[in-house]
Amino acid sequence: MLSNFDVSNIGQSVMILLQQLIIVLIALTFHETAHGWMANRLGDTTARDRGRLSLDPRKHLDPIGFICMLLFGFGWANPVPVDARKFKNPKLGMALTALAGPVANLLLAFMILLPLEIMAALLDNGVIVIGSQFGVNLVYGIIDFVSAFHYSNITLALFNLFPVPPLDGSRVLYAVLPDRWYFGVMKYERVISIVILFLLVLDVFNSPLAWLSSKISGGMLWLWQLLPWF
C-alpha cells in the first residue's frame, strides 16, 4: 500500500509532466508555424500547401522528438518543409525563415509575463486578496507555470540559434558564409548532429543556456516594468 508521501510525490510528478507537456506543445507548435508563415510571406508556399501553417500541434510533432523533449529536456519537431528556390533571394529567405522560429519563442516568453505582471499589480493594489489555501495554491501554480513557460521558450530559442547544423542558426550562417564554406560544413551535418546530441546528454549546454536565459529574462522583465500601468 502506498503511503501518503508516495501518493503526494506521484501526484506532483504527474502535474509537472502535464505542465511540461502543455509547454512543449505550445512552444514547438508556434516555432514551426512561424517558420512556415515566414516562408509563405517570402514566396514559398510549400508549408502552406502541406497544411503546416496551423496551430494544431499534431501537424508539427515528431513522436520520438516529442518524447525526448518531455523526458530529457531536449528534442525536435517535424521540420517545416522549405523550398529555397522559391525565394527571390534564397540566402536571405532561408535566414529569415530560420530566424522566425526562435523569434516566435522569444515573443511567447515575453507575452507570458503579462498575466504575471497583471496579477502582481492587482495583489499590490489590494484588488485580489488571497484568503484561503486554495487561493495561495492557485496563485503559486500560475506563477510556476508562467516561469516554466517563460524560461523554456527562451532556452528553446537560444539553443536553436546555435550556428551549427541542423539548428536554425546554421541557416542564418548560410546567409553570411560563402557557398563553398557553407556546403563544406553541411557535408558533416549528420556527424555534427550526433556530436550535439552527445553533448546534450552530457548537459554541456545547460550552464551557458541558463546564464543567457536569465539575462534575457531580466531584460524582458525590465521592459514590462517600463509600461506605465505596471
Between 224 and 121, whose confidence is greater?
224
Q: Which of 32, 38, 172, 196 is catalytic?
A: 32
What is the model's pLDDT at position 1? 42
Q: Indicate whether 157 pLDDT > 90.
A: yes
Q: Indicate whether 213 pLDDT > 80.
A: yes
Please measure the distance between the N-terminal and C-terminal CA atoms of the chain and give it in whole angstroms: 50
E strand or H helix that includes residue 98 = helix 90-111
Q: Indicate whether 188 pLDDT > 90.
A: no
Residue 128 binned pLDDT confidence (cut-offs 50, 70, 90): low
What is the model's pLDDT at position 127? 60
Q: Which three cell numbers stand for residue 177?
A: 558564409
Residue 53 binned pLDDT confidence (cut-offs 50, 70, 90): very high
Mean pLDDT of 202-211: 86
Most confident among 10-19, 62-71, 122-131, 214-223 (mean pLDDT):
214-223
Between 115 and 152, whose confidence is greater?
152
What is the model's pLDDT at position 107? 97
Between 218 and 170, whose confidence is greater?
218
List, for residues 161-184, the tens digit of each pLDDT value: 988 888 899 888 888 878 787 777
Between 32 and 163, whose confidence is greater?
32
Mean pLDDT of 45-57: 93
Residue 2 binned pLDDT confidence (cut-offs 50, 70, 90): very low
Q: Which three cell numbers stand for residue 216?
A: 534575457
Please confirm, yes or no, whether 189 is among the known catalytic residues. Answer: no
List, for residues 81-114, the tens digit of each pLDDT value: 999 899 999 889 999 999 999 999 999 999 999 8
Per the CB < 8 A criterion, the answer to whether 101 and 31 are in contact is yes
What is the model's pLDDT at position 3? 47
Q: Reduced to 3 DSSP states, what percent helix, strand and coil does the chain have, rounded to the nearest 5?
A: 75, 0, 25
Distance CA 73, CA 174 (A): 28
Distance CA 65, CA 77 (A): 6
